[in-house]
Amino acid sequence: MKPPMQIDEVPQALRRWTPVASELAFPEEQGWTSTVAFVEPGEIVFKRCTDPRYCDWLRREREVLEALADSPVAVPRALDFHDSEAEVWLVMTRLPGDSCSHAIYRGDSRTREKLYAAAGEAIRQLHQAPVATGLATPRPFVEHKLEAAERNLAWCDGTPEKLESMRTRAPEPVPDRLVHADLNLDNLLVHDGKVTGFIDWAGGATGDPRIDVALALDFGAEDEPEPVLLEAFFEAYGERPEPDVLRWYRELYEFF
């Protein structure tokens, strides 16, 4: 089967990141919006987007990573960028580890509890980090997300009727913090039970931190975390957002 990306597809402007005898390797799963490849040997990541619906997301991710370059939050470092309009490429450093969600599925009960606690602590630290210049959301976060959801109606799983219902049930605002805004646990990396960093930053901004909690704990109805795991997470996170607000943000995810 043809791999999702080959070295000869890398634009000439980025070939300096593929030394002689290097090869491309790939994560266990690819995301929906871009293709990711690891240059081996080495610690370089290529991320390519060819879908016009998502190219702006990769352009935004570059901006967010550059804004977070001096942040205490562990994120990849943006190294290079190529934008041909038809496709967008981002070159980054590779953080060590595997996705927290994979580690959770593979771990025993004690390991899962430790991982949920580690995730809660990492997200708490993320939300306490200073907001980098250039990441401030220009208008109220919920309003911003609902406007984006309406623009996405042409291709997303959400419906106009559902969006209107969500507008009537929108949560009351809370003070803005630095948020990832797409923080399912695939985007939190761990190694030997410790968090090594956050990836996939297209949604990074200032906003409602409850969106990160909602998505981090959303494994679907069939894989709802056990109460002991939720307790481990919330004890480490230090707050317990209202269940209705967490459900609202999970519903919002249907539009993205």
pLDDT (tens digit per residue) in 50-90: 999 899 999 999 999 999 999 999 999 999 999 998 999 99
Q: What proportion of the chain, given as a percentage, has pLDDT over 70?
A: 99
- Tell whether 227 is covered by a domain: yes
The pLDDT assigned to 245 comes to: 97
pLDDT at 150 over 80: yes
Whole domain around residue 85: which residue ranges?
7-93
**In the chain, how many domains are there?**
2
Extract the tokens encoding 33.
């919006």
Same-domain check for residues 119 and 227: yes
CATH number of the domain within which 215 lies: 3.90.1200.10
Evaluate whether 38 touches 44 at the Cβ level (below 8 Å): yes
**Phi and psi angles of residue 141, each rounded to the nearest 5 degrees, phi first:** -60, -50
Same-domain check for residues 36 and 145: no
Extract the tokens encoding 157.
């799983």
CA distances in angstroms from 40 to 3, 64, 200, 229, listed in the order given: 15, 26, 21, 36
Same-domain check for residues 27 and 54: yes
Same-domain check for residues 20 and 131: no
Same-domain check for residues 115 and 197: yes
Rounded-to-integer distance, Cα 79 and Cα 230, Å = 37
- pTM for this prediction: 0.95
Of 58, 78, 93, the last residue of a domain is 93
Extract the tokens encoding 96.
């060590």
pLDDT (tens digit per residue) in 5-19: 999 999 999 999 999
- Tell whether 1 is covered by a domain: no
Same-domain check for residues 12 and 65: yes
The pLDDT assigned to 133 comes to: 83
pLDDT at 2 over 90: no
First-to-last alpha carbon distance for the chain, in angstroms, is 30
